[in-house]
Structure 1
């Protein structure tokens, strides 16, 4: 019977980066994945010659040069810069909130001084309406941060679609900070490094797992590997934290996302990779046009068709893919108790978004693994 140094459950970025480091250290590794493909949520599916982000848009960004150099040592990244657009009832606004947004919102606003005065005046109205008390919900918090015009057109209905709840029923901490830039800059991220792997994220996953034994279509809990000590010295677990403990303390809540993907018989459907739809007129939260992640300029038109995905936020139900932890008081307290149990599990490393019940961007997940000593 083969014996591995590490059995890794899940082939997302945490598991695959760990597998890469372990192999570099001369360890014997087995990666098992319940889906029929490797890569977790960064997996790309080729449709009409376009790398389609099957589980939603993934844009790599970081200020950590070590992480950037690491991923580029596996596969070269392109120059993609994330500049999403918001569509409110046909009105188009640049994101994040910047001088282009403010001029579109208020045509008389042309300078940062004018924009700041407009926002400050509306913020003051919202603060005064509270009568000296602190904001009690997301709606009040957002109004105090950016005022009524931005809130009602670009935040309120979009957020309600995301969370399936009224902004008045959502906690303030979800939106404690809103980026407001008094410059004409549509780059969503402030990070020094940003891009997409040339050839898609599958190239990154393939590079990380080169020479590593992998098995797909294997559910850890319904397989012989559940008795992992028969197969490996240590377990790296990146599945759902509560599922590992058979939900003994109760189930953690998640939000999830569904996608409706289609081919359009045009080379350029919306002119941008990401367009957010911020009103309730559309049930989806955003539309992704995948070719814009990797095709630029004339390349867009050399590919005669395009692929778009409508993204729908919904409550998680069994059998769905969990995406976002629900960071309310109940779930935060429950996750804390599960993490205490996890700390007591000898020989088990809990990693990634599911295994830690925390939302992470891609770069911090990789950084976590790179910082582990003595793998």
Structure 2
């Protein structure tokens, strides 16, 4: 018998296994994929740590969270400064004075603010009925058409006029010359990749790869006193209330025989006609100087059973459906639900770490 059966070897499950191991608990971790780490898995290709499931940049202002992850890896000084490519025009993200200078030639914050207010006023709607009206209300035509419209439509799989205005409640507009995407105090990427970090967390646990928990649920449940489940909560309950909605992503990765493809780790493609949302050039996450480079194109997709679910679609309809599953989860005496899929919440890595630490403190008293 094990003390805990942990379903999924992503960040939440791995932290739980590490903390339980410190308390002398026996943990069995089962992972559906053929590798550990969940979506933060990194794989070395041509001496480059490739983020197999999209860019993962650790950032937080929570000192406890930052100091916690430092146990498992040394983090570099990487600062996320993505750029947008709109029909060959390059703009800095998030929207800042460098963006506004490129768009309109304005130099001072006052000039930029006046230009945005002028453009937004031309499209002012008291009660925006969709995302397009909301975005035009906030930033006007130029920023919306070049930097928001196409990217958002690709990301969500719907035209902006079909999306609810709540998706863009506000847009980050900075009247400073600062290309740092995050406002957090701490930021970086583990030197040597995330997989090595997860390996340290799982050092005391038994790990079985290629195991589909839901296919062997009764057999596996019998092995442990308690279960920590980080998969989709609707799948756990056999979709008895219906399927929750997710967005998925597919990746097209290739090795290029050149040292530098795009000059930046992250380039967003904001025109609708380009089918992918962004290209990641992985070597720039660690300031690589290798002779070759590895790039990944990201294609958003509607999720269906059998696909990897990436992003919960937290609209009113899905949140109500989730609450039906949540009620069942709260009645469980033997099962702990965690992670982005287990709690149907969009969480960045630092949120997952904080939540995992909170749950382990409550559980492992």
Q: Same fold (TM over 0.5)?
A: yes
Alignment partner of 1:210 is 2:203 = yes
* 3-state SS of 1:74 partner: coil
1:337 alignment partner in structure 2: 324
* 3-state SS of 2:264 partner: coil
CA RMSD of aligned residues (A): 1.0
Structure-1 separation of matches of 2:81 and 2:153: 22
Structure-1 separation of matches of 2:311 and 2:214: 22
1:163 to 156, 165, 170: 156
TM-score (norm 1): 0.95
What are the superposed Cα offsets for residues 257-308 of structure 1, whole Å, 9 maximum, x if unpaired?
001000111101000000000002311000000000112xxx42xx100000
What are the superposed Cα offsets for residues 19-57 of structure 1, whole Å, 9 maximum, x if unpaired?
111111111111000000000000012111111100000
Task: Return the offset for 1:185.
Answer: 0.2
Structure-1 separation of matches of 2:219 and 2:258: 52
The answer as to whether partners of 2:5 and 2:221 remain within 8 angstroms in 1 is no
* 3-state SS of 2:291 partner: coil
Structure-1 separation of matches of 2:35 and 2:218: 20
Task: Return the offset for 1:329.
Answer: 2.4
- Please list every run of 5 or more consecutive structure 2 residues that lacks an aligned counterpart in the other structure: none
TM-score (norm 2): 0.97
2:259 to 267, 270, 287: 267
2:353 alignment partner in structure 1: 366
Task: Return the offset for 1:253.
Answer: 1.2
Structure-1 separation of matches of 2:276 and 2:226: 42
1:126 alignment partner in structure 2: 123
Structural mapping, 1:286-325, within 5 Å? 286-295=278-287, 299-300=288-289, 303-325=290-312
The answer as to whether partners of 1:89 and 1:281 remain within 8 angstroms in 2 is no
What are the superposed Cα offsets for residues 346-369 of structure 1, whole Å, 9 maximum, x if unpaired?
111100011111110001101111
Give the paired residue count: 362
2:143 to 147, 150, 157: 150
Alignment partner of 1:111 is 2:108 = yes
Alignment partner of 1:277 is 2:269 = yes
Structure-2 separation of matches of 1:216 and 1:174: 37
* 3-state SS of 2:261 partner: coil
Alignment partner of 1:248 is 2:243 = no
The answer as to whether partners of 1:99 and 1:182 remain within 8 angstroms in 2 is yes
The answer as to whether partners of 1:84 and 1:273 remain within 8 angstroms in 2 is yes
2:134 alignment partner in structure 1: 141
The answer as to whether partners of 1:171 and 1:328 remain within 8 angstroms in 2 is no
The answer as to whether partners of 1:122 and 1:147 remain within 8 angstroms in 2 is yes
Structure-2 separation of matches of 1:162 and 1:276: 11
1:21 alignment partner in structure 2: 19
Structure-1 separation of matches of 2:218 and 2:173: 48
What are the superposed Cα offsets for residues 67-101 of structure 1, whole Å, 9 maximum, x if unpaired?
11110111111110000000000000000000000
Structure-2 separation of matches of 1:11 and 1:328: 28
2:213 alignment partner in structure 1: 220
2:57 alignment partner in structure 1: 59
* 3-state SS of 1:73 partner: coil
* 3-state SS of 1:178 partner: coil
